[in-house]
Structures are given as structure tokens and as C-alpha cells.
Chains A and B, each alone.
Chain A
């Protein structure tokens, strides 16, 4: 029983990390139907920004979110204005041009980081980096707990903005039906710019928090990007609550498969990608789509 609780709590904490690094992808896909391949590059750049703030001004990585997130929001808006807005619009799905452009942007960011910081492995060590707290017989890292707390706050904050503010309602309207939103007077171009800014700010938050857990180089973020893809597909691509649930499902499957089966731990990634393929084939709408389908069947009966 104790093992069950410890594994469940570990899964929960890991889910917090997974969700935080995936929100940004979902925001941008939802509004613009673009898969932001530069997401990993933005996370890496934010990790370096956090490192620089910690190194130069001894600013705590979690406090640096107050600087990094707004700065990357503006960076995202600037990227939208100069690069993204020229992409051809497609309501069906991500265009080849957008994939190539954002992949190119990722490479530019990577090489920029190599030019500025070189290829040395960097990391941030705070007084609590190696600390843990004990409950239910397990020990849980303080940074993981803080990341989880930020993830919950982000989810709550995002939901408040999306449900209670005009901006949020406009974002949801454009996500659901861009043309109808424009007919209702929503400036879809402006909303797309803000959404790209929010997505970039969330990528930056993910990167800042990852920098408290991992060492990084300019090549950092690739494996997290792949995991984030799995999570947003599981979460239905557009729903933030779906992303949180997707992260939870993936994390629980990974941790429980390792704790209660003899599947080698090195198959962790294989589990994620198998799940991705299964969901794409069996339930292209992700978990929310599956839920809606089951609900409709229950009503029909």
C-alpha cells in the first residue's frame, strides 16, 4: 500500500512537470493550428535566461519566472509579428511551411545559444536543489514539488483567464471557429499574436522549471518536446484541462509500468510513443474525444 501511494505521488509530481512543458504547445495549436517545433528551442533559451539571472543576480529560478515569462511573452509577440503571421492560413491542420519554418527557428535558437554560451553543460544549484521532504514513507524532491505547485497555479490561472476575461473568451472563440469569431468582431490576428505570446511564455516557464531539475546544453529540450507531443495528443490538442489529464495519464502509465511490471525502464519512451500512435488511430480527439464518444453512446442507450 505504501509503495502504491509513493508511486502515485511520484506520478503526480512528474505529471506537473509534463503538463507545464506542454501547455504552450496546446495554446498555439488551439488558436493557430500550428505545431510549434521551436518549442524545445524556446524552453532551452529560457533555461539559459534563468541560468543567467541566477548566475549574475543570484535570482532564484522560481522567482525568475516573474521576469522570464513576460520577457518571452513579448518575444513570442515579436516572433509572431515578424515571422509567423506571414504563414499561409490553414484551418485543416499544420501546413508544411509552418513545420519547416518553426523547425528552422529551433535550429537558429540552438546555434544562437552555441554562439553565446558554447557547448558546456550548465546547471543551476540552489540551496533546495538536493533537498527532499518525506511523507508516506517516500522522499520527494523539493524542486519537483515547487514545479508541481507552479503547474497547478498555471492551470488555474489559464482557466480563469480563458473563462472570465474578454481576452480568454476571444481566444476560445478563435480556437473553436475562427471565421465565426471574426464575424462577431474578434480581431483574430491580434488574438493569434497574443496566443503565440502566451504559448511562448508557457514554453519559457517550462524551460525555467526544467533548469531547476536538469543540466542543459543548447541541444536541450528534444526529449521533452517529444513527450509534450504525446501529452497534447492525449489531451485532445486544444484543451488545457485535457493537457493536464494527458500528462497525468502518461506519467501514471510510465511510473506504474516500471513499479508493477518487469518491462525494462528503457522502454519508458517506447510506452509514450506507442500511446501516441494508439490514440491517433483509435481516438484522434484524444481523451476528451474519447470521453465525448462514450458519453454520446451512453445517451443513445
Chain B
């Protein structure tokens, strides 16, 4: 009897071995709790949905076989040191085949040094800072550089000049947070201004995150009497700064806070004072592609949530990794890395509809520009061919 049991155990183990290898092990470290929990939680939801959809379809085709995806998702509590340590744990203990990176440039920066040490493909959908990429061949990211966000906004403004809605020369108040994000944004604006003589940065100021008093900064902006106000801020700073801006009675022909503007929280906090602010982002649910419309419906149905840019980018990042693994036809890390490097994911929901990575490993996709309209409405105003409404310029005085 005991001999029979030993043989049975041996057979089960033997049969079990190939079954385990049929699984794609993906690790993800996200800030599900703590400071970044709002967007971190959204990333978790979207990542899990993308994995569920892949598994519901029978798994991912790898080298002629369908393999199920086994996602191990850990919470770094928005702590950079813990974030890097958990990535290491996923690689050394859980033996994952690839890693999905976190959200927030500081967390992704901390994580991104680990994959290089172990030679494991790493794809992040939550960091746009250029400094993270180009240092390791294993690190990829789907968020395009923040300086291109600024560049897109300048192209949008330049188009308004061409339409005759704005007139050059235009002077700019450039107000950016003192972070990598803010520095990249300022770089993008300055690069555009250098090659376009109709524009001039009349005042460039930086501010610290969670500044307690914006009067001194905005007093300088008021004295500079510029035509455009281009800022790059986090949500809390945008709200506090724009309240002071409105109370001081400031007005510019066009105004942006970078990626901020159409957020529900901002519109709730500022009311009609957010009307006509324009903002850029990595994605918008207003994109007119059929796959975006399908995604909007599917996402709402599955989660009960209207998808925001962070849901879409997390979802598409997971899809990109699974597509690359399928294309690699193997779970070999080097093959997955090479597949990521040469990936061209067609019919993607991202702007431009094709997701790919540049030589540095970072995507270089077009940005969208939206503009808030009265009554809580938002229009996609750039790219022009995808616009859902006309851009209003200059901002009418209330």
C-alpha cells in the first residue's frame, strides 16, 4: 500500500511539473495603500481586469500553447524603499517571469534598479520621468515623457495662433513644481520657445510641493503681466494655487496646470473657476477610436467605474506585457525583453493607436489636450482630427 502511495505521489509530482511550467508568473508592486493609494488602487483594479480577461480567453498563446497568467500583486504602501524590496522578493522568491512596475515616478525610480540586477523584464505604466529610462535594457515604460506633454501643449497653442484665436508675440509665466516632473515640463516649454521666436518665457518660477502660501508666487506672476500661464502641479497644489489665483483676480489668455484640470476633485473644489482651463494627458475616454469606446463600456460594466487615464494606461501596460510574452513565444527573460523592445501593439487604446517603445525603453506616444467647458463639460481639443469640440481661446473674462 505504501509503495502504491509513493508511486502515486511520484506520478502526481511528475504530472504536476509541466502543468506548473504552463503558467506565466507576473509580479506587480503597486501603492495600494498610503499616499498614492488613490491611483495605485486604480492601477490594481485595471491590472487585475486585464489579467482576468486574458485568463477568461483561455490564457496567453506562448510558443503554440495557451498559458494562464498568475498575477502576484503586492502593496508597497507608497514607500519607495519597500517598493524596491518587494520587487526583489518577487524576483528571488516568487521567481516571476516579468514585473509590472508601480505608480509614481519616485516609486518606479526606486523599483527600476532591481530588474537590471537579476535580468528580469520590467514594464511600468505609472512613471513619465525621463531619468528612469535608458539606464537599463530591462526597464520599459508606457507613459510618454513629461517634456513631450509640454511640447504638445505648445503645439496646441501654436495651432490656436495659426487659427487666429491668439496672436504672437506671446509671453509666458512658467510656474512648475520643484520635482523631476516639473523640471521635465519646463524643459519641454523652453525647448519649444527656443525654436519659436513668437514666444517668450517672461517669468519662470518653481514652487515646493504643498506650498503653504501662493500669494508671493502669484504676486510675481501678476507683476510680469504675461499672456499665458503655464503651470505643472499636483492636484492639491493646483487647487490651492488656483483658489489664490482666482481670489487675486488674475486672468491670462490661456491657462494650464499641465496634466491637471479636468479631474473631478478639482472641478468640485474650484467650481466654475476651472472653466476653459486646458490640460494634457496620456489618455482620454473621449478618444474617438472604436476600441476606446468598447473599452469604456467594458470597463464600466466590469468595475462600475468610468475609466480615467490611469485605468486605461494600467490596463494597456498589462496587455502590452502579455502581448510581448506571446510574441516572444517563450518565458525566457531575454526573449521577452527583446519582444518588448521591438513591440508594436496595433489597435491599442492609447492616442495614436499603436503602442511601442523607443530605444530608451520609454514610449513616445502623442498626448491629448482637453479643455474644460462650462457646466462640467470637457472637450477633447487636440489632436485636432480627434477633437470633440472647438478650443475656446482666449479664455473669456468672467
CB contact list, A129-183 vs B, under 8 A: 129-132, 134, 139-142, 144
B-side contacts of A227, CB under 8 Å:
212
Please determine whether A125 and B269 come into contact, CB atoms closer than 8 angstroms: yes
Partner of B217, one of A14, A114, A125, A265: A265
Complex interface: chain A residues within 8 A of B268 (CB): 123, 125
Complex interface: chain B residues within 8 A of A122 (CB): 265
- Measured in the bound complex, the distance between the Cα atoms of B40 and A131 in whole Å is 35
Q: Is B360 an interface residue (CB 8 A)?
A: no
Instruction: Name A265's contact: one of B205, B240, B244 (CB within 8 Å).
Output: B205
Q: Does B346 contact A (CB under 8 A)?
A: no
Near A by CB (< 8 A), chain B positions 189-219 give: 205-208, 210-213, 215-217, 219
> Per-residue 0/1 for B268-279: is the Cβ within 8 Å of any A Cβ (1 yes, 0 no)?
111101000000
Surface stretch bound by B, among A28-36, A71-79, A209-217, A277-285:
A209-217
B373 is an interface residue with CB less than 8 A from chain A: no
Instruction: Indicate whether A119 sits within 8 Å of B215 (C-beta atoms), given known contacts A131-B247, A214-B240.
Output: no
CA distance A182 to B210 in the complex (A): 44
Is A187 part of the binding interface, using a Cβ–Cβ cutoff of 8 Å? Answer: no
Q: Determine which residue in A142, A220, A223 has the highest number of CB atoms from chain B within 10 A of its CB, and name it.
A: A223
B243 within 8 Å of A (CB atoms)? yes
B20 contacts A by Cβ under 8 Å: no
Measured between alpha carbons, how far is A227 from B210 in the docked complex, in Å? 12
* Docked pose: A223 CA to B234 CA in angstroms: 15
Asked if B358 lies at the interface with its beta carbon under 8 angstroms from chain A, I say no
User: Is A95 at the interface (CB under 8 A from chain B)?
Assistant: no
Stretch with Cβ within 8 A of A (4 or more), from B29-37, B309-317, B325-333: B29-37
Q: Which of B40, B206, B247, B265 contacts A121 (CB 8 A)?
A: B265
Nearest residue in A to B40 (C-beta to C-beta)?
A119
On chain A, the residues within 8 Å of B178 by CB distance are: 266
Q: Is B249 an interface position by the 8 A CB rule?
A: yes
What is the minimal beta-carbon distance from A4 to any residue of chain B, in angstroms?
Answer: 12
Distance from A188 Cβ to chain B, minimum over Cβ atoms (Å): 35
Which residue of A129, A216, A219, A255 is within 8 Å of B216 (Cβ)? A255
Contacting residues of chain A (109-126) with chain B, CB-CB under 8 angstroms: 114, 118-123, 125
- Asked whether, in the complex, the Cβ of B205 is within 8 Å of the Cβ of A255, the reply is no
Query: What does DSSP make chain B's interface, helix, strand, loop or mixed?
Result: helix
Tell me if A130 and B249 are in contact (CB < 8 A).
no
Which of under 10, 10 to 19, 20 to 34, or 35 or more describes the interface residues of A? 35 or more
Contact A268 B213 (CB under 8 A): yes
Tell whether A132 pairs with B208 under 8 Å between CB atoms, given A118-B38, A119-B37, A215-B240: no
Q: How far is the CA of A120 from the CA of B310 in the complex (A)?
A: 14
Contacts of A139 in B (CB 8 A): 247-249
State whether B247 touches A141 (Cβ < 8 A). yes
Interface size bracket, B side: 35 or more
B383 beta carbon closer than 8 Å to chain A: no
Complex Cα distance, B156 from A156, in Å, reads 54
As a 0/1 sequence over residues 31 to 61 of chain B, the CB contacts with chain A under 8 angstroms (1 = contact) are 0011111101100000000000000000000
Is B235 on the interface with A (CB-CB < 8 A)?
A: yes
**Interface flag for B308 (CB, 8 Å):** no
Indicate whether A216 sits within 8 Å of B270 (C-beta atoms), given known contacts A118-B37, A141-B244.
no
Complex contacts, A129 vs chain B, CB 8 Å:
243, 271
Cross-chain contact B208 with A269 (CB below 8 angstroms):
yes
Cβ < 8 Å to B, chain A residues 173-227: 213-217, 219-220, 222-224, 227
B246 at the interface (CB under 8 A from A): yes
Query: Which of A18, A120, A223 is in CB contact (< 8 Å) with B210?
Result: A223
A7 at the interface (CB under 8 A from B): yes
Inter-chain contact A265/B243, CB cutoff 8 Å: no
Beta-carbon nearest neighbor of A269 in chain B:
B208
Which A218-275 residues have C-beta < 8 A from chain B? 219-220, 222-224, 227, 251, 254-255, 257-259, 264-266, 268-269
Q: Are A141 and B243 in contact (CB under 8 A)?
A: yes
Q: Which residues of B contact A121 (CB under 8 A)?
A: 38, 235-236, 239, 265, 269
- The yes or no answer to A20 lying at the interface (CB within 8 A) is no
B265 and A120 within 8 A (CB): yes
A residues less than 8 Å from B246 (CB atoms): 130, 132
The contact of B38 among A7, A18, A119, A222, by CB within 8 Å, is A119
Interface pair B35/A219, CB less than 8 Å apart = yes
Known A114-B33, A255-B216; judge A130-B270 contact (CB<8 A): yes
Q: Which residues of chain A are near B220, meaning CB under 8 Å? A: 258-259, 265
| Least CB distance, A132 to chain B, in whole angstroms | 4
* Complex Cα gap A6–B271 (Å): 27
Would you call A10 an interface residue if the criterion is a C-beta within 8 Å of the partner chain's C-beta atoms? yes
Q: Which of A14, A119, A130, A223 contacts B243 (CB 8 A)?
A: A130
Bound together, the chains give a CA A178 to CA B288 distance in angstroms of: 73
Q: Chain A nearest CB: distance from B226 CB in Å?
A: 16
In contact, A265 and B207 (Cβ under 8 angstroms): yes
With a cutoff of 8 Å between Cβ atoms, the chain B residues found around residue A265 in the complex are 205-207, 216-217, 220
**Residues of chain B lying within 8 A (CB to CB) of residue A217:** 35, 38, 236
Q: How far is the CA of A213 from the CA of B365 in the complex (A)?
A: 37
Q: How far is the CA of A294 from the CA of B35 in the complex (A)?
A: 47
Q: Which residues of A contact B240 (CB under 8 A)?
A: 213-215
In Å, the complex CA distance between A131 and B248 comes to 9
With A and B bound together, what is the CA distance between A6 and B37 in angstroms? 40
User: B206 contacts A264, CB within 8 Å?
Assistant: yes
Contact in complex: B38, A258 (CB < 8 Å): no
Contacts of A255 in B (CB 8 A): 213, 215-216
The contact string, 1 if C-beta is below 8 Å from chain B, for chain A 1-18, is: 000001100100010011
Residues of B within 8 A of A140 (CB): 247
Chain B residue at minimal CB-CB distance from A18: B212
Shortest beta-carbon contacts, A-B, top 9: A258-B216, A123-B269, A119-B37, A141-B247, A119-B38, A215-B239, A132-B247, A266-B206, A223-B210
Beyond A141-B244, A255-B215, A265-B217, 16 additional contacts (C-beta under 8 Å) are A14-B213, A14-B215, A118-B38, A119-B35, A121-B236, A123-B239, A123-B269, A125-B271, A130-B273, A132-B248, A254-B213, A254-B216, A255-B216, A266-B208, A268-B211, A269-B208
User: Can you name 18 A-B pairs with beta carbons within 8 Å?
Assistant: A17-B212, A119-B33, A119-B37, A119-B41, A122-B265, A123-B269, A125-B271, A130-B246, A139-B247, A139-B249, A213-B243, A222-B210, A223-B212, A255-B215, A258-B220, A265-B216, A266-B207, A266-B208
